[in-house]
Amino acid sequence: MRNSRLVVFVVAALAATASFAGAQARTTSAQRAGQGVKRQARAGLLRGVALTPAEKSRLEDVRGRYRAETKALRESMKPVKQRQTADLRAALSPEHQKQFDANVRQLAERRASAKKGRGKAHVGRRQAKAQTLPTASELPL
């Protein structure tokens, strides 16, 4: 009787731990879904650093200096990534290839929708927000 209580307790504890860990994993991926990879990498490097406006400006200059080089590297990696994807697919059974293909399509759709949220549209939202703020002369005294 005592051993069965212990077993029930251990099983319940494991189940609770597993469900908690699963909930944490879902939260983490949901948080990541809202951020780009670049943003995450920079956030990790600068986590806990309260940047001054001057530092923000200097960091943006550094990013600008490397922007063309990193873009060229990404472009040069495309053929390698395509070959790797083809080799990964070829290593799978026909049944698993179908799921793999669906995953590839889904990833491409997510990337396309993420691109729509970046660039000029993002700058436009910032500019629109700045335009809605009152100027000093518009503030009531």
Tens digits of residue pLDDT in 13-71: 666 665 555 555 444 554 454 445 456 556 688 888 888 999 999 999 999 999 999 99
Cβ distance 40 to 32 under 8 Å? Answer: yes
Q: What is the pLDDT of residue 78?
A: 93
- In this prediction, residues 81-91 reach a mean pLDDT of 94
Run of H or E including 2: helix 2-33
CA atoms within 13 A on the CB side of 47: 6
CA distance 141 to 113: 45
Percent of the chain with pLDDT over 70: 52
Q: Would you state the structure tokens that stand for residue 32, as one six-digit string? A: 């990541």
pTM summary value: 0.44
The CA distances from residue 136 to 65, 125, 128, 140, 141, in Å, are 36, 22, 18, 9, 10
Chain-centroid distance, C-alpha 91: 28
Task: pLDDT band for 121, please (50, 70, 90 cuts).
Answer: very low
